[in-house]
Structure 1
Amino acid sequence: MNQRTRVRWIIALLMWAAIAINYLDRTILSAAAPTLMKEFHISPIEMGVVMSAFFWTYMLFQIPAGWFADRVGQRLSLGLAVTWWSIATALTVVCRGVTSLVFVRVLLGIGESGAYPSNAGVTAKWFPDKERARVSAIFDSGSKVGTALAMPLVVWMLTAFGWETPFIVAGLIGLVWVVIWWAYYRDPEKHKYVNQEELNYIREGQTKKEGIDNVQPMKWYELLKYRNIQAMCVGFFMLNYAIYFFITWFPTYLVEERGMQLMKMGYVSMIPPLAGLVAELFAGWFSDYLYMKGLSLTLARKINLVGGMLLATSIAFAGLVDSAVWSVVLLSVSYAGLTFAACAIWSLPGDVAPRNMTSVVGGIQNCVSNMGGILGPIVTGFLISTTHSFIPALLVSGAATLIGALTYAFWLGKIEPINPTGPHVNRLSSTAKA
Structure 2
Amino acid sequence: MSELNVETKVNAAMLTVQEKTGFRWKVAIMMWGAIAINYFDRTNLSAAAPMIMKEFDFTATEMGFIMSAFFFSYTLCQIPSGWLADKFGQKTLLGGSVASWSCATMLMAAGQGLISFIAIRILLGIGEAGAYPCNAGIVSKWFPDRERARATVIFDSGNKCGTAFAMPIIVWMMITFGWKVPFIVSGALGIVWVLIWLKYYTDPEKSQYANQAEIEYIRDGQAVKDGLDNKMPLKWYQLLRYRNIRAMCIGFFMSNYAIYFYITWFPTYLVQSRGMSLMKMGFVAMIPPLVGLIVGFITAFLADYLYSKGYSKTKVRKNNLVCGMLLASSIVFVNFIQSDVAAVALLTLSYCGIACAGPALWTLPGDVAPKNMTSTVGALQNCVSNVGGILGPIITGWIVTTTGSFEMAMVVTAGATLIGAINYAFYLGEVKRIEV
Structure-1-length-normalised TM-score: 0.96
Contact 1:320 1:391 in 2 (8 A): no
Distance 2:205 2:393 in 1: 43
Deviations 1:90-137 (A, max 9, x none): 000110111111000000000000000000000000000001111111
Pairing partner for 2:130 from 106, 114, 117: 114
Summarize the alignment of residues 16-415 of structure 1 with structure 2, pairs less than 5 Å apart.
16-415=32-431
Matched letter for residue 241 of structure 1: Y
Report SS of the residue matched to 1:344.
Answer: helix
The alpha-carbon deviation at position 159 of structure 1 amounts to: 0.6
1:40 partner amino acid: F
State the number of aligned residues. Answer: 420
Is the Cα contact below 8 Å between 1:155 and 1:262 reproduced in 2? yes
The answer for unaligned runs of 5 or more in structure 1 is 421-434
Deviation at 1:316, TM superposition (A): 1.0
The SS at the match of 2:209 is coil
CA deviation after TM superposition for structure 1 residue 320, in Å: 2.1
The alpha carbon displacement at 1:317 in A equals 1.1
> What is the alpha-carbon distance in structure 1 between the residues aligned to residue 367 and residue 103 of structure 2?
34
Deviates more, 1:47-56 or 1:320-329: 320-329
Q: State the distance in 1 between where 2:280 and 2:369 align.
A: 44
Give the corresponding residue for 2:12. none
Query: Whole-Å Cα distance in 2 between the matches of residues 154 and 251 of structure 1?
Result: 12
CA RMSD of aligned residues (A): 0.6
More helix by share: 2
AA at the equivalent of 1:260: M
- Where 2:396 maps in the other structure, the secondary structure is helix
Distance of 1:318 and 1:175 partners within structure 2: 40
Taking the aligned partners of 1:16 and 1:417, their CA distance within structure 2 comes to 26
Give every structure 1 segment of 4 or more consecutive aligned residues whose post-TM-superposition deviation is greater than 2 Å.
none
Instruction: Give unpaired runs (5+ residues) of structure 2.
Output: 1-14
- Displacement of 1:220 in angstroms is 1.0
Match of 2:35, as an amino acid?
I
Matched to 1:369, the amino acid is S
Equivalent in 23, 28, 32 of residue 7 of structure 1: 23
Cα offset for 1:319?
2.5
Q: Secondary structure at the match of 1:215?
A: coil
The one-letter amino acid paired with 1:155 is V
Which digits, 9 at most, give the CA deviation of each residue in 1:147-170, with x for residues without a partner?
A: 002210110001100111000000
Q: Supply the distance in 2 between the matched residues of 1:211 and 1:412 (Cα, whole angstroms).
A: 26
**Counterpart-to-counterpart distance in 1, 2:294 and 2:209:** 31
Identity of matched residues, %: 60
Distance, in Å, in 2 between the alignment partners of 1:28 and 1:316 is 26
Matching residue of 1:431: none
Q: TM-score, normalised by structure 2?
A: 0.96
**What per-residue deviation string (whole Å, max 9, x for no partner) do you get for residues 148-200 of structure 1?**
02210110001100111000000000000000000000100000111111011
